[in-house]
Amino acid sequence: MTETTPFTSDPVAELIALLDIERIEVNLFRGQSPDDGMKRVFGGQVIAQALVAAYRTIDARICHSLHAYFIRPGDPSVPILYEVDRSRDGKSFTTRRVTAVQHGEQIFNLAASFQVPEQGYIHQSPMPKTKHPAELKSEDELRAMAKDHVPKELQKQFARPRPIELKPVDPRQMISPAKTEAKKEMWLRMRGKVDPDNIPLQQCLLAYASDMGILDTSTKPHGVNWFTGGVQMASLDHSMWFHEPFDISNWLLYTMDSPSASGARGFNRGELYTEAGKLVASVAQEGLMRPRDPKFKN
């Protein structure tokens, strides 16, 4: 079995295949990573594969929340083992804990809760008014404009085809970004059709996408990002709540803000809405954003 998966001409099929992890024992699964030139595994991939592992021990229940910690950087050159602990099977709720292991060490863990579908009270916060996706440049177009300024070691990953189309509402300069408010909006959708009735797959794909760009929100007031250098960045934890069914083949608005940064950490929140304004998921993430400049002063 190969340890990494080469990219194909169909990035959507590739991502779905990436999430089709292999069962090697009743509660033990093995996942692979793409050959995308990155030195560590994308956090959204580990979240999504761990959620898939949990779902494969569940019957007829839907995930409503997950909470995860990134413990060590993932190594994309070797498989990731996912071990599921069947914590509880109740009448209405089921709880699972998933541990991801590489090189004999835990790199990630996730707790997820699943519920029998029920009816209840409904309310939500309104979707903010914003530009429509048709009015916006895609991230592919923005990356093409910036590709000559990207460090050579990042160019393979920077230019590869992605399964999820992104359209930032207020694009930020990738190189030498200005200091701006700690808020961000972008539209996202899969580049191909995904079965809208397959709720577990829809949720796993959105879990993958939810790690795209959220940590960057807390860097905006400080004029730094992945490309500027002088700052060490990594996701530390990630939580997600699924409120309503959705179809990730259609546009979803991802609104993000960062109410706090301190102690070399940035805290970020996100909400995901359909075009019709339905709030379908919420996200929270804290990430490391450690200054590396010896002359740094806040």
Q: State the DSSP string of the chain.
A: --SEE---S-HHHHHHHHHSPEEEETTEEEE-EE-SS-SS--HHHHHHHHHHHHHTT-SS-EEEEEEEEE-S---TTS-EEEEEEEEEE-SSEEEEEEEEEETTEEEEEEEEEEE---------PPPPP---GGGS--HHHHHHHHGGGS-GGGHHHHHS--SEEEEESSPPPSSSPPP--SEEEEEEEESS---TT-HHHHHHHHHHHTTSSTGGGGGGGGT--TTT-SEEEEEEEEEEEE-S---TTS-EEEEEEEEEEETTEEEEEEEEEETT--EEEEEEEEEEEEE--TT---
For residue 3, the model assigns a pLDDT of 45
Find residue 88's DSSP bridge partners: 95
Tell me if domain 1-116 and domain 133-298 are identical in fold. Answer: yes
- Give CA–CA dist 38/35, Å, rounded: 8
Quick one: average pLDDT of 82-95?
98
pLDDT in the model for residue 145: 67
Q: Is the pLDDT of residue 6 over 50?
A: no
Active site amino acids: 211, 235, 285
pLDDT over threshold 60, residue 4: no
Find the mean pLDDT for residues 214-226.
90
Q: How confident is the model at residue 178 (pLDDT cuts 50, 70, 90)?
A: confident
Per cent of the chain over pLDDT 90 is: 76
pLDDT tens by residue, 45-84: 999 999 999 999 999 999 999 999 999 999 999 999 999 9
Write the pLDDT tens digit of every residue in 122-164.
999 999 999 999 999 988 888 776 666 666 666 666 667 789 9
Q: Domain residue spans in the chain?
A: 1-116, 133-298
* Phi then psi dihedrals of residue 99, to 5 deg: -115, 130
Q: Are 262 and 213 in contact (CB under 8 A)?
A: no
The model's pLDDT over 12-29, given as tens digits with 9 standing for 90+, comes to 999 999 999 999 999 999
Confidence of residue 246 (pLDDT cuts 50, 70, 90): very high
Q: Is residue 257 over pLDDT 70?
A: yes
Lowest mean pLDDT among 31-45, 154-168, 227-241: 154-168
Q: What pLDDT, on a 0 to 100 scale, did the predictor assign at position 144?
A: 72
Of 141, 217, 223, 219, whose CA–CA distance to 175 is shortest? 223
CATH class of 1-116: alpha beta
pLDDT value for 133: 96
Look up tokens 């996730």; give the residue. Answer: 110
Structure confidence at residue 1 (pLDDT): 35
What pLDDT score was predicted for residue 226? 74
Tokens found for residue 140: 């592919």
pLDDT for 39: 84
Please answer whether residues 107 and 72 qualify as being in contact, where contact means their C-beta atoms are separated by less than 8 angstroms.
yes
**Is residue 280 predicted with pLDDT exceeding 90?**
yes
Measured CA to CA, the distance from residue 12 to residue 248 in angstroms comes to 12
Point out which residues pair with 291 in neighbouring strands: 231
Q: Superfamily for 133-298?
A: Hotdog Thioesterase (3.10.129.10)
pLDDT of residue 7: 43
Average pLDDT along the chain: 91
